[in-house]
Amino acid sequence: MGIRFVLFVNKQGQTRLAQYYEHVSIDERRALEGEIVRKCLAPSYSLPLLGSENPGFSSGRYLCSFVEHRNYKVVYRRYASLFFLVGVDNDENELAILEFIHLFVETMDHHFGNVCELDIMFHLEKVHFMLEEMVMNGCIVETSDVEVVEK
């Protein structure tokens, strides 16, 4: 399994979307999300450029976007106030996942028109459907048009 989970977390560390591709119990999810948020979000608070980001800015300019966590890797990227975290196996291609995150954000942008956190909150199931279109045990559908048509 390439991708293990996809998480959207806002700056305050609240989960906005959680999709797991293997079975994880509720308690484990809570613990895991807490740990990951602490690991990935903490350093970026000290970024000098808070508030001046545009979509497409990744915290990777200052810090590496890959974090090793337990027995897998978390690839993460920050768009505005949302962090997109993807947990992958250790031998998964990190850069490809980074590209995937970007593609996904573009897709959402395409659908919602300048997507923001509220869009995701109020249309969570749509985001889920989009994610399902793109990820099934890995990464499949690329073109954003297909999703929009299917809505």
Partner 1 sequence: MHRSPMAPTPPAPVPAPSLVDTLFQRSLGDLVKFLRADPSAAGESTAVARALSEIHREIRAPDAATKATALQKLTYLSSLHFAPVASHPLAFPAIELIASPFLPHKRLAYLAASLSLHPASLSLLPLATHQLHKDLSPSTSAAASHNVSALALQLLASPAAAAAPDLAAHLAHDLLPHLSRGSPRAIAAAARVIAASPSAAVPILFKPLAACLASPDPRASTAAAAAFCELSAPPADAAPFLPLAPDLYNLLTTSRSNWALIKVLKVFGRLAPLESRLAARIVDPVCQLLARSAAMSLTFECIRTVLTALPAHDTAVCLAIGKAKEFLTAEDDPNLRYLGLLALGMLGPTYVSTVHECRDVIAQSLGDADSNIRREALHLMMGMIDRNNIMDIAGMLVSHAAKSDPEFANDILGAVLAACGHNVYELVSDFDWYVSLLTDMARSLHCAQGDEIGRQLVDVGLRVQDARPELVHSSRTLLIDPALLANHLLCPVLSAAAWVSGEYVNFTKDPVELVEALLQPRTSLLPMSVRAVYIQAVFKVITFCCNSYVERLSDSSKEVAVGLNGLSIDETVSEGRKAPLVSGDEQITVPSMMEKDPFSEKSIIHMIDLIETTVGPLFECNEVEVLERARNLIGFVHLIREVQELKESKVDDDEKHSWVKELVKNMQTVFSQEIGPVSLNAQEKVSLPVDIVLNETLAELDDIVSEDDTTPSSSILFYPRSHGSIENRNEPALSLGSSSLLSEHRKRHGLYYLPTGKTEDEPVDYPHANDPLLPASNESSLDDKSNTAQPVTGGKKLKAVKSRPKVVKLDGEDFLSSMVPSANVPKEDSLSGAVRGVLLDRDLKPSSSQKASDKAYEGIVNKMETGGSSSQWKNNVDAELVGHPTSSSRPSIQPSHEKESTNPLESDGKEVKEPKRHRRSSRGGHHQGKHKHRERHSTQPDVPQAPIIQDFLL
Residues near partner 1 (CB under 8 A) are 1-2, 15-23, 25-26, 29-30, 43, 60-68, 89, 91, 93-96, 98-99, 121-122, 124-125, 128-129, 132, 136-142, 150
Q: Which is nearer to partner 1, 30 or 38 (CB)?
A: 30
Q: Are 106 and 114 in contact (CB under 8 A)?
A: no
Q: Which is nearer to partner 1, 63 or 109 (CB)?
A: 63
Q: Which is nearer to partner 1, 35 or 89 (CB)?
A: 89
Alpha-carbon distance of 58 to 36, in angstroms, equals: 17
Q: How far is the CB of 144 from partner 1 (least distance, A)?
A: 15
The helix or strand, by DSSP H or E, that contains position 40, with its residue range, turns out to be helix 26-41
Quote the tokens at residue 38. Answer: 């602490």
Q: How far is the CB of 26 from partner 1 (least distance, A)?
A: 5
Q: Which is nearer to partner 1, 62 or 145 (CB)?
A: 62
Nearest to 144 by CA among 116, 110, 101: 110
Nearest to 39 by CA among 20, 65, 19, 21: 65
Alpha-carbon distance of 27 to 101, in angstroms, equals: 26
Q: How far is the CB of 27 from partner 1 (least distance, A)?
A: 9
What amino acid is encoded at 76 in this protein?
Y
Q: How far is the CB of 80 from partner 1 (least distance, A)?
A: 18
Q: Which is nearer to partner 1, 44 or 80 (CB)?
A: 44
Q: How far is the CB of 55 from partner 1 (least distance, A)?
A: 19
Alpha-carbon distance of 60 to 122, in angstroms, equals: 28
